[in-house]
Structure 1
């Protein structure tokens, strides 16, 4: 069953939100003293770098599935080293965000299922696109929230993160 609440306009909104949030996240992380992004802070993936690396990995893998060009990204365990260091992550993140926004702009509907091979499950999986698009953006927000908490604990100013307060030009 397709979710009537998840449509192209919602996907475009969430793509803009993702890019807007990553724009404040990048300078906040890059401003950290050497070694701080690598320090284990007790988050699910440990450090800030490992968390944003996992998020970059997931965004690239899911986007490749959405555009019909699925790629092998290894598995979740290797996702923490998808970006070798913070500079590598910072160099790649804006391009991925631009690709997500471009995909969202071209999206015409969210109906139907997407079928892909899941390395995690070791088999082919088919799920409604609306569910997968929701997962995609929820996953970003979840892990970015972990990074937000780690940065806040370090005393870093992070700015607004509420989608309701996203600037129109974001």
Structure 2
């Protein structure tokens, strides 16, 4: 893989995150925070976790101080979560815009110690995989709430954009 391939994967990641938000914003507040005996419990907990993890890994890749993780409020905080989410996405996009092929094998993370030997490409794949996993969990919860959702398969993203066509 090269830097351009990772940018394409992350464009998919961002599109699918926005698709999830399309469903989340339409939920009544009580369903947004409703506890499920599954994974992290609620749609809100899932979405906050996904955002916080994306933010932490990209801060580590960028060598910047880790922010205080977002803590959900006791009120409907979807607007605040979405604003932070958009900010995280913009920082991720900025990092990816500067990504070069030679950077993929660098090991920029110093702390925690267990992450020191992770190459950039490994972290980038982990974040994509983590996002897919948690979006799938959110989609399952949305389905249980009666929301009609769609597939998040990468190949459908490729087909929709015509990225499978040769020039």
Choose between structure 1 and 2: higher strand proportion.
1
Equivalent residue, structure 2, for 1:141: 132
Q: 1:29, CA displacement in angstroms?
A: 0.6
Contact 1:40–1:47 under 8 Å retained in 2:
yes
Query: Which digits, 9 at most, give the CA deviation of each residue in 1:114-144, with x for residues without a partner?
Result: 32312xxxx4631222211111111111111
- 2: distance between equivalents of 1:154 and 1:86? 18
Equivalent residue, structure 2, for 1:158: 149
- 2: distance between equivalents of 1:15 and 1:98? 12
Alignment coverage as a number of residue pairs: 155
The alignment's TM-score, normalised by the length of structure 1, stands at 0.80
Choose between structure 1 and 2: higher helix proportion.
2
Equivalent residue, structure 2, for 1:43: 38
- 1: distance between equivalents of 2:128 and 2:84? 18
Contact 1:57–1:82 under 8 Å retained in 2:
no
Contact 1:56–1:82 under 8 Å retained in 2:
no
Runs of 4+ in structure 1 over 4 Å off:
none
1:87 aligns with 2:82: no
Contact 1:64–1:71 under 8 Å retained in 2:
yes
- 1: distance between equivalents of 2:49 and 2:107? 25
1:98 aligns with 2:90: yes
Query: Which digits, 9 at most, give the CA deviation of each residue in 1:32-86, with x for residues without a partner?
Result: 112111111122211110111111111111111111213154xxxxx5x534332
Unaligned runs of 5+ in 1: 74-78
Q: Report matched runs for 1:7-156 at 5 Å.
A: 7-73=2-68, 82-84=71-73, 85-109=77-101, 110-118=104-112, 123=113, 125-126=115-116, 127-156=118-147
Q: Secondary structure at the match of 1:44?
A: coil
Task: After superposing the two structures, state which structure 1 stretch, 27-36 or 124-133, moved more.
Answer: 124-133
Equivalent residue, structure 1, for 2:165: none
